[in-house]
Amino acid sequence: AWLQDRPDLLLQDSQGSSLWQESPGLHRVWLNPALPAVQNALVNLVVDACTRLPLDLIQLDDHLGYPVRFGYDPTTLALWKQTPQGAANPRPDPSDSAWIDWRSQQVTALLARIRNAMASQCPRVKLSVAPNPQDFSKANYLADWSQWIQQGLVDELVVQIYRNDPARLAWELAQPSLQAARRQVPVRLGLLAGLKHQPQDPSVLKRQLAMANGAGIAGIDLFFYESARRHFPAPGPARPPR
């Protein structure tokens, strides 16, 4: 209801569309983090949760950011044109490095507002983020989590590394960005336990767990619970109310 008749709060691609196809038949829209109305709504949502509920931690996943092909709505472009780079290149290619840096800074600024609000309103509640590996995360979703950690904006990092190839997982674990993060905050690893109808081979998962433990990772998160449903007994009939 909050978004109804408010398309100005949504990001657009270079063709003027606000829709992003995540998978066949599934489309999403993305809020514009540069807009005060969006920032206020998200900050208020987080503060409401952390002050009213008995939480130890709030986690923001890999949707903290937005696809690199977005940012071509009139509001975002107007803000960009106020910068020296934007004045020289008012409508850059999505992969332009300065354009990527500037848009990622808008995401970082939103996270900073969330962090500051939590520090004021619920200082005991930790803030965790669960992005993709750094290079992919920034280049594709404008989420520069190395900067978030350097600026002290998060208490925990959970990197989603969904890989079947052991060599690729080992390569990701050795990345300088991950090693640098481990020196500043607890780093957990997100592993793929399977999809709803495609569970992971247990032997593959055990090997990945061993690799993560050997790399000194603080903990493991498995995605996602639906992949374990087949191991649970079928639910019985609902109990009548007392």
Rg (CA), the chain: 20
Does some domain include residue 2? Answer: no
Place of tokens 């009213």: 52
Q: What is the pLDDT of residue 205?
A: 85
Domain count, the chain: 1
- Tens place of pLDDT for every residue, the chain, 242 residues? 688 889 999 999 999 999 999 888 899 999 999 999 999 999 999 999 999 999 999 999 999 999 999 999 999 999 999 999 999 999 999 999 999 999 999 999 999 999 999 999 999 999 999 999 999 999 999 999 999 999 999 999 999 998 888 999 999 999 999 999 999 999 999 998 877 777 777 888 889 999 999 998 998 888 876 666 665 566 667 667 66
Q: What is the pLDDT of residue 65?
A: 96
Does some domain include residue 1? Answer: no
Does some domain include residue 176? Answer: yes
**Residue partners of 223: CB distance under 8 A and separation at least 6:** 160, 162, 190, 191, 192, 193
Does some domain include residue 106? Answer: yes
Q: What is the pLDDT of residue 201?
A: 78
Asked if 71 and 11 touch (Cβ cutoff 8 Å), the reply is yes
Q: What is the pLDDT of residue 25?
A: 87
**What's the one-letter identity of residue 75?**
T
Does some domain include residue 134? Answer: yes
Which two tokens mark 180?
Answer: 């640098």
- Residue 172's φ and ψ, nearest 5 degrees, are -65, -40
Does some domain include residue 30? Answer: yes
Output the domain CATH number for residue 73.
Answer: 3.20.20.80
Which is it for strands 26-28 and 20-23: parallel, antiparallel or unpaired?
A: antiparallel
Residue 56 lies in domain: 7-231
Does some domain include residue 18? Answer: yes
Report d(CA 146, CA 156) in Å as an integer: 12
Q: What is the pLDDT of residue 193?
A: 81
Q: What is the pLDDT of residue 120?
A: 98
Write the CA distances from 36 to 39, 154, 209, 217, 242, integer angstroms: 5, 22, 42, 37, 48
**Residue partners of 28: CB distance under 8 A and separation at least 6:** 19, 20, 21, 22
Does some domain include residue 72? Answer: yes
